[in-house]
Amino acid sequence: MSGSSFGKIFKITTWGESHGTGVGVVVDGCPAGLQLCEEDIQKYLDRRKPGQSRFTTKRKEDDKIEILSGIFEGKTTGTPVSMIVHNTDHRSADYREIASYYRPGHADYTFDQKYGFRDYRGGGRSSARETIGRVAGGAIAARFLDTLGIHFLTYVKSIGPVTIDAGHFDAKQIYENALYMPDAAAAGRAQDYLEECMENGNSSGGVIECQISGVPAGIGEPVFDKLDAALARAVFSIGAVKGFETGDGFAAASATGLTSNDAFYYDAQGRIGKKTNHAGGILGGISDGSDIIFRAAFKPTPSISAVQNTVNKNGENISVSIKGRHDPVIVPRAVVVVESMAALTLTDMMLANMGAQMQSISSFYNR
Amino acid sequence: MSGSSFGKIFKITTWGESHGTGVGVVVDGCPAGLQLCEEDIQKYLDRRKPGQSRFTTKRKEDDKIEILSGIFEGKTTGTPVSMIVHNTDHRSADYREIASYYRPGHADYTFDQKYGFRDYRGGGRSSARETIGRVAGGAIAARFLDTLGIHFLTYVKSIGPVTIDAGHFDAKQIYENALYMPDAAAAGRAQDYLEECMENGNSSGGVIECQISGVPAGIGEPVFDKLDAALARAVFSIGAVKGFETGDGFAAASATGLTSNDAFYYDAQGRIGKKTNHAGGILGGISDGSDIIFRAAFKPTPSISAVQNTVNKNGENISVSIKGRHDPVIVPRAVVVVESMAALTLTDMMLANMGAQMQSISSFYNR
Amino acid sequence: MSGSSFGKIFKITTWGESHGTGVGVVVDGCPAGLQLCEEDIQKYLDRRKPGQSRFTTKRKEDDKIEILSGIFEGKTTGTPVSMIVHNTDHRSADYREIASYYRPGHADYTFDQKYGFRDYRGGGRSSARETIGRVAGGAIAARFLDTLGIHFLTYVKSIGPVTIDAGHFDAKQIYENALYMPDAAAAGRAQDYLEECMENGNSSGGVIECQISGVPAGIGEPVFDKLDAALARAVFSIGAVKGFETGDGFAAASATGLTSNDAFYYDAQGRIGKKTNHAGGILGGISDGSDIIFRAAFKPTPSISAVQNTVNKNGENISVSIKGRHDPVIVPRAVVVVESMAALTLTDMMLANMGAQMQSISSFYNR
Amino acid sequence: MSGSSFGKIFKITTWGESHGTGVGVVVDGCPAGLQLCEEDIQKYLDRRKPGQSRFTTKRKEDDKIEILSGIFEGKTTGTPVSMIVHNTDHRSADYREIASYYRPGHADYTFDQKYGFRDYRGGGRSSARETIGRVAGGAIAARFLDTLGIHFLTYVKSIGPVTIDAGHFDAKQIYENALYMPDAAAAGRAQDYLEECMENGNSSGGVIECQISGVPAGIGEPVFDKLDAALARAVFSIGAVKGFETGDGFAAASATGLTSNDAFYYDAQGRIGKKTNHAGGILGGISDGSDIIFRAAFKPTPSISAVQNTVNKNGENISVSIKGRHDPVIVPRAVVVVESMAALTLTDMMLANMGAQMQSISSFYNR
């Protein structure tokens, strides 16, 4: 069944494998009149590009976006925006061997079980290159949201056992280190940890945190399309995500009502605010006007060169050491993917919310 | 925008508020020929019924299900199954007071912001009674899955700081204590903790775990309708959920590839199995044939009698103590809701998977 | 697969069989703040009620609507509006005989083929009573549209060979005769024709025409959710519809560009209008600001008492004469069903259109 | 709102304008294991290619398909199949003039009203080139259906006043004349008629008929996703369609039950058949095992060189004569578009039907 579309009003459909002609996305339902050029997309893609540091795959790709439709004289026309990134550095030979066995922690086995066979080159559709379409689409969504005063701050909160220190949060640091951590000291420790992983042919997981500011109250469509439920699905659809939480998240389970509830208050201007934000900006599945906060847990990169046990297609139990160009940690490159999925979700929900009240509909249609 | 439907092939649409005529659900897309009677639904609803222990609301409701359509001579006909539970014990008077202010931790404020006003009686649509429709629909899904050899084991893993002890798991205990915990000793400690909460007019959160056995490999529709992404959305759409994780979940973020990957092996019968199940039964968004395992974190019940600060509609900062019949913990009653959402998700995905391979489609249509 | 929902933003889900507890609908996505009471729904249902003239079934039903949720203090709350009409006059005994054979022109055979068996009582889900849910939902949509200045004029254009005369159109007549024809003379001739049909145990088809005024330009979502495509599906989903056309319809196929194109012009107020309306108010799938005009062709009621050939379940070729209470023509009662489906379609499309332009979205969110 | 996707299980998303980089489609949900190569697509596209006769636009385009993803070793993999056709012969200069006024019968005005402005080059997204994506997707659907023994016969039934003669139907003729008419004599008369239209700077409409054989009984999802309703929407979403009918269509409105009902009978092999096919192969929205038959009415090409009245953007009433390369009739080239939309609809419905009965689901999952 079709599973490559995301969104109802603002919808993306992604396509492409690691080793085919390219990967891409069709963005449908983008409002007309949004100023947009390839540079807006490219700067997002550059954040997930491989080859940026020692901790990312050696694969060299330009990942150059090409917009094929939907833009006229620098603005979206309301028709689908189709985009493509060509695959330029694909050496299928590297992957011929993995056709014969199932890599632990990968989708090789499950794709074979589902579809009867698989495009084994570079993981095919389950490759991280699949996320290029998400990011290209997400860049448009982020542009849309930016126009409405909504902004993202997304970063790596932890890598393996190394977590940013409370009180050391420095947003400027995020783009200063290769790991996108808002704490230079923690980033240093994380780099040491990753070096150790690489020496052992091992890999690491990590946690990404996202804060979204400027979201008006009222966004989210109960009871199944709640904002947090939609974000959960969006983020969990990214490969390697094993956990998702909003606000206090799992910590809320061991808390009490008194420590978990956020008190409302009137500020000096008579606006309603909250003293704290344990809720992460969402109450009853609807944004409450404070910052949206969520985290995603990523498992370690499954491709490791250390020896592992598995099975081959000849019915044999074997041990393997996976060769090839793999990141010891995918978390830094996933930051922009998480941000993109959140932007896509929020954009769709912002549009969905426009029909919530009869009064605003009447205004819209001048009645 | 419509947000009260869940599922694509097997779809439920829920409706109803805490204090209207009743609550209900329409189950559409249920295959014809499934044996089904009201008793199958009722036994699920009874698991979420209030008034079962000291820790659940005093509200007395029979929550008696009535099937209105879609069944003929004891079997589903393929047409929509509409079900209703009448609200019998609704005392609106209790709630008139809360119309004037916003309860902390509740959706009062966000509903007002979104819709311009709200049905304040008992929380209206954001009441826990909304889950009755989910459970009634989930009971049919569970019946469907049971026919295919798929079974659920869902229970409370922790309440506040009290967690079941490793090595003390006893499935039989789940239905032996009011808290649905698979560990009698932990259940005892949790009860003590809840008594303490009640004395302080406070409440507690907790964690629910769900294991699903018998799921064949191949279920899930990448890249956006992955099985884990669909479960994440399903479970996160339940009120009060703040976190969701599969397999090792957040712990995977601090693990390494070597400890996180599950090794495949051939068993004596030549079938492929996994030595461990860190993945929680899902690889690349597709079931791998081992047990599906996930957890959901619930925040504490926001309605507490302890004094809290908030605002009223007159522009005043006030302090309130919430009266009425409220559970100090909703987690035990939410067990069947979590199970229901998982059953609905899995049923939809099982049906979606039938079109994955040309060969099986040809067989189906005898070509 | 679920097929009982219609609409994306404003969505209805209908349920119920001819001889179960009742029939109903859940309306989800209705904007909050629409004034609505049961009387608004009832007056729509009364237009499709049986027992109103000699030409409609003798079945006596009150078809009394009951609203179960979604309304608070006389206004919609933004949550699902669930509605039910109880079945009061169902004599299953009448229908036991038809369980054994397939009625020509009915869905008996196809339901058996699809689902393996069927609820044969009164046609089950394929009964005309299924349309009650559509009309109840359509009444809310019509109320929504009325608020925006959009109005319907729906009537019977022809019954069998009797068509309203060109130049004799009199809108006031529509509610003056039992056949809902806007031409008293034609209505008289049609009644004579129907009497003749009844004498022969025969039945008649007919054509319904619908004009919608006040629709702003810009409604419709190319390329697959064009306004006319959506109307075509909506109207064709009504039982017995065999044809649908907009504007000049099939006549356009034998016309030329010169006679088919509508010339634009500026009126005295500087507004753009069209000299003619061959297009029926839709160009490129988007409303052009002139009246929407479409027609639907209905086949004759398949239930007739004249002798017909068919098969029974014992493998025998038999001849039958169908007993029971059946209309010699369903077209007059279908007028409100057609109008309802059009109202539902247009409402959904009006809401969908709100996200078409960046500029209006920015205004909506005050940026 | 996103309107460029069609289908639920087997879904296409089209993109592209007349004068951008190209046009294309993403086909998502195609079962794995379908043998497919570019030639399968190309032969479909060649049927809609311009420049094939005097009656089609002079625009010379190869319309060469390129498959970008989803195929591995000659078979579909279950992942999205992305396809592109580059625009090679676009002379934007031709169209600069039409930027300043609204062409009668075109979507210029409605696009401006909806989106605030438009890509005026060659009609932008409302160009007939948009159908390339439909046909490329439809070719895959047709390949899928062919594998299941389902075949199409689609042809031009009439052009302007010229209709194929009853009793002169000759399927072989369809590909023998440039007009795709199954009657050489009628084709000759139609050509004469078109020459006359061209001399007058005028254009013609026409009717396309489609017969589908081999469809098993049981396909279609009542009550809103009935097979005929889905076909109606699919075909009506093609530009210039003004009417759609199945079986006897509009003629059924003036018929009686006795002449309209199809009698069932047992044939010599004990299979159920129908003596006639007034229903066009669909009863109650579900296929009955006989041929599916439907017709679509197309309006005349709106672009004509004869003088017409319209308005320009300076607020003036003007008269225009449209230059450029336009077909005097689009109906012959639309034959394969109609067939493609029907194939897409039927494929989606065939997959949807697989979950109709519990028994076959249990067989599928070996329980």
SS3 string, chain A, reads: CCCCEECCCCEEEEEECCCCCEEEEEEECCCECCECCHHHHHHHHHHHCCCCCCCCCCCCCCCCEEECCCEECCEECCCCEEEEEECCCCCHHHHCHHHHECCCCCCHHHHHHHHCCCCCHHHHHHCHHHHHHHHHHHHHHHHHHHHCCCEEEEEEEEECCEECCCCCCCHHHHHCCCCCCCCHHHHHHHHHHHHHHHHCCCCECEEEEEEEECCCCCCCECCCECHHHHHHHHHHCCCCEEEEEECCHHHHHHCEHHHHCCCEEECCCCCEEECCCCCCCEECCEECCCCEEEEEEECCCCCCCCCEEEEECCCCEEEECCCCCCCCCCHHHHHHHHHHHHHHHHHHHHHHHHHCEHHHHHHHCCC
Beta-carbon separation of B288 and A109 below 8 A: yes
pLDDT computed for residue B197 by the predictor: 96
Residue-wise pLDDT tens digits, B248-298: 999 999 999 999 999 999 999 999 999 999 999 999 999 999 999 999 999
Q: Given strand D65-67, what is the order of strands in its sheet?
A: D5-6, D11-16, D22-28, D81-86, D65-67
pLDDT computed for residue A190 by the predictor: 97
Q: How many residues does chain D have?
A: 367
Contacts of A9 in chain D (CB under 8 A): 1-2
Window from A22-26, A137-141, C165-169 with minimum mean pLDDT: C165-169
Element (H, E) at D41: helix D38-48
pLDDT score of D14 more than 90: yes
pLDDT computed for residue B56 by the predictor: 66
Beta-carbon separation of D350 and B358 below 8 A: no
Beta-carbon separation of D1 and C352 below 8 A: yes
pLDDT score of B94 more than 70: no
Window from B314-323, C155-164, D81-90, D340-349 with minimum mean pLDDT: D81-90
ipTM: 0.97
Per-residue tokens: D182: 């199954």
Beta-carbon separation of A4 and D24 below 8 A: no
pLDDT score of B92 more than 70: no
Contacts of D9 in chain A (CB under 8 A): 1-2
Contacts of B205 in chain A (CB under 8 A): 252-256, 260
Element (H, E) at B295: strand B292-298
CB atoms within 10 A of CB A298: 25
A347 min Cα distance to partner chain B (Å): 14
Neighbours of chain C (3+ CB pairs under 8 A): A, B, D
pLDDT computed for residue C61 by the predictor: 59
D132 min Cα distance to partner chain C (Å): 12
pLDDT averaged over every residue in chain B: 94
Crossing angle of helices D331-352 and D227-236, rounded to 10°: 150
Residue C84 is classified by DSSP as E
Question: Across the strands, what pairs with A26?
Answer: A13, A82
CB contact burial D136-173 (16+ within 10 A = b; e otherwise) = bbbbbbbbbbebbebebbbbbbbbbebbbeeeebeeeb
pTM greater than the 0.90 cutoff: yes
Instruction: Read off the pLDDT band of D97 (50, 70, 90).
Output: confident
pLDDT computed for residue B189 by the predictor: 97
Mean pLDDT over C261-282 rounds to 97
Instruction: Read off the pLDDT band of B121 (50, 70, 90).
Output: confident
pLDDT computed for residue A50 by the predictor: 63
**Rounded to whole angstroms, how far apart are CA atoms B115 and A218?**
8
B359 min Cα distance to partner chain A (Å): 9
Contacts of A355 in chain D (CB under 8 A): none
pLDDT averaged over every residue in chain C: 94
**Burial label, D39 (beta-carbon count in 10 A; 0-12, 13-18, 19+):** exposed
Residue C287 is classified by DSSP as E
Mean pLDDT over C177-198 rounds to 96
D25 min Cα distance to partner chain A (Å): 9
Window from A31-35, A242-246, A324-328, C351-355 with minimum mean pLDDT: A324-328
Residue-wise pLDDT tens digits, B15-25: 999 888 999 99
Q: Given strand C5-6, what is the order of strands in its sheet?
A: C5-6, C11-16, C22-28, C81-86, C65-67
C212 min Cα distance to partner chain B (Å): 24
pLDDT score of C51 more than 80: no
Mean pLDDT over D29-47 rounds to 97
Residue C171 is classified by DSSP as G
Per-residue tokens: C90: 């169902």
Report the share of chain B in percent with pLDDT over 90.
86
Residue in chain C lying closest to D129 (CA):
C223
Residue-wise pLDDT tens digits, B275-286: 999 999 999 999
Who among A29, A147, A352 is closest to C358 (CB)?
A147
Report the share of chain A in percent with pLDDT over 70.
95
pLDDT computed for residue D123 by the predictor: 82
Ramachandran category for residue A322: left, alpha or beta (phi over 0 → left; psi -120 to 50 → alpha): beta
pLDDT computed for residue A96 by the predictor: 77
Beta-carbon separation of B148 and D31 below 8 A: no
Mean pLDDT over D123-148 rounds to 95
Beta-carbon separation of D358 and B144 below 8 A: yes
Mean pLDDT over A72-92 rounds to 90
- Three-state DSSP state, D80: coil
| Between A40 and B62, residue with greater pLDDT | A40
Beta-carbon separation of D144 and B358 below 8 A: yes
pLDDT score of B50 more than 90: no
pLDDT computed for residue C166 by the predictor: 85
Beta-carbon separation of D75 and A117 below 8 A: yes
Mean pLDDT over B343-353 rounds to 98
Mean pLDDT over C283-298 rounds to 98
Who among C254, C257, C286 is closest to D107 (CB)?
C286
Window from A29-33, A167-171, C227-231 with minimum mean pLDDT: A167-171
pLDDT score of C94 more than 90: no
CB contact burial B267-300 (16+ within 10 A = b; e otherwise) = eeeeebbbeebbbbbbbbbbbbbbbbbbbbbbbb
**Rounded to whole angstroms, how far apart are CA atoms C291 and C280?**
7
pLDDT averaged over every residue in chain D: 94
Q: Are A10 and D5 in contact (CB under 8 A)?
A: no
Who among A102, A230, A288 is closest to B233 (CB)?
A230
Report which of D70, D7, B79 is spatially closest to residue C16, judged by C-alpha positions: B79
Question: Across the strands, what pairs with D256?
Answer: C204
pLDDT score of B51 more than 60: no
Per-residue tokens: B263: 């090794």
- Could you identify the residue written with the tokens 């002449």? D259
pLDDT computed for residue A49 by the predictor: 79
**Rounded to whole angstroms, how far apart are CA atoms A232 and A345?**
10
SS (H, E, C) B220-277: CECCCECHHHHHHHHHHCCCCEEEEEECCHHHHHHCEHHHHCCCEEECCCCCEEECCC
Q: Locate all alpha helices (DSSP H) within chain C, ordered by sequence.
A: 38-48, 108-115, 131-147, 184-199, 227-236, 257-260, 331-352, 358-364
pLDDT computed for residue C9 by the predictor: 98
Neighbours of chain B (3+ CB pairs under 8 A): A, C, D
Mean pLDDT over B307-316 rounds to 95
pLDDT score of D60 more than 70: no
Residue C96 is classified by DSSP as T
Contacts of C300 (CB under 8 A, 6+ apart): C202, C203, C204, C205, C329, D252, D255, D256, D257, D260, D261
Mean pLDDT over A312-325 rounds to 90
Mean pLDDT over B118-135 rounds to 92
pLDDT score of B217 more than 70: yes
